[in-house]
Structure 1
Amino acid sequence: MHRRALLATLASVGAGCLSSAPKESTETETQTAPKSPTQTEKTATAAMSDPIELDVHNETEEPKLCQYSIRQGSDTILDGEIEVPASDFTPVDTGIEETGEYELNVAVDDIGQNSYPFSVGNYDLRMGSNLVIWIYENQIQMGMEE
């Protein structure tokens, strides 16, 4: 019985502490639009994102020279070549920092060439989705991993 009385007293005291006095002002309140992010906030957001990599996997038993390029429209974002050791992979930073439509082009001398159109969205920029090239004995496959 004493427990209920104590709880009731605490509830009424707590409610009194949380309530506020009514405003006596006749001024109207206006809401302003939220401020756009400052340059510092934008930089902090970008620094928290994971870069998009190009992972080149060599699934053969000998080293392979892989030529690659990434284009966005008529702009070349990345252009290079890399020798990937046998049964290994090598990561390359793509430098992709914007959403949009891209195309990955790959050539391996004794195997051939292939192209892969792909889209980069906000999720990909935040989480660092990676482009992947798999080099096999007689083919090149490409994809994007989240």
Structure 2
Amino acid sequence: MSHAEILSCRFLCFDQMYSFEKRLQTFSDWPFREDCQCTPELMAKAGFVHCPSENEPDVVCCFYCLKELEGWEPQDVPWSEHAKRSPDCAFLQMKSWDELAAIEFFHLEHGRIRNYIRKMVHMKIAHFRDEVENISKNLRVIFEIAT
């Protein structure tokens, strides 16, 4: 599976992450636990899902706006960091889950899906640009050898 396919699968299942408990479950290997501002509970309350990689154990992604953040430090406040880097995230403006009307949920979900499609398109474009660059480099090498 390619990196883009893995990310696509991960982002696609984010529809389940409206649940605080489901987001919290993703933080089982979170490096910050006690005596800090970025505990798993506070990260999940801020809309984040823990999605570490081998090289980056503290990567989180907002299930809604898909903004990824890394490089967390114990004094970082998740809600503030999220708001700083993604001020238009509708999750940050969402009222309490219990107070949400069905139509408001549908509008939120429409926005989340739009964010997902936008992210996938940007990833595909970046992948395409990388492929074009590699092909161009190979062609330059071939034509340099041939002359």
Query: Shorter-chain TM-score: which interval?
Result: under 0.3
Q: Which has the larger radius of gyration?
A: 1
Which structure's residues are more often helix, by fraction? 2
- Whose relative contact order is higher, 1 or 2, with alpha carbons under 8 Å and at least 6 apart? 1
Q: TM-score, normalised by structure 2?
A: 0.24
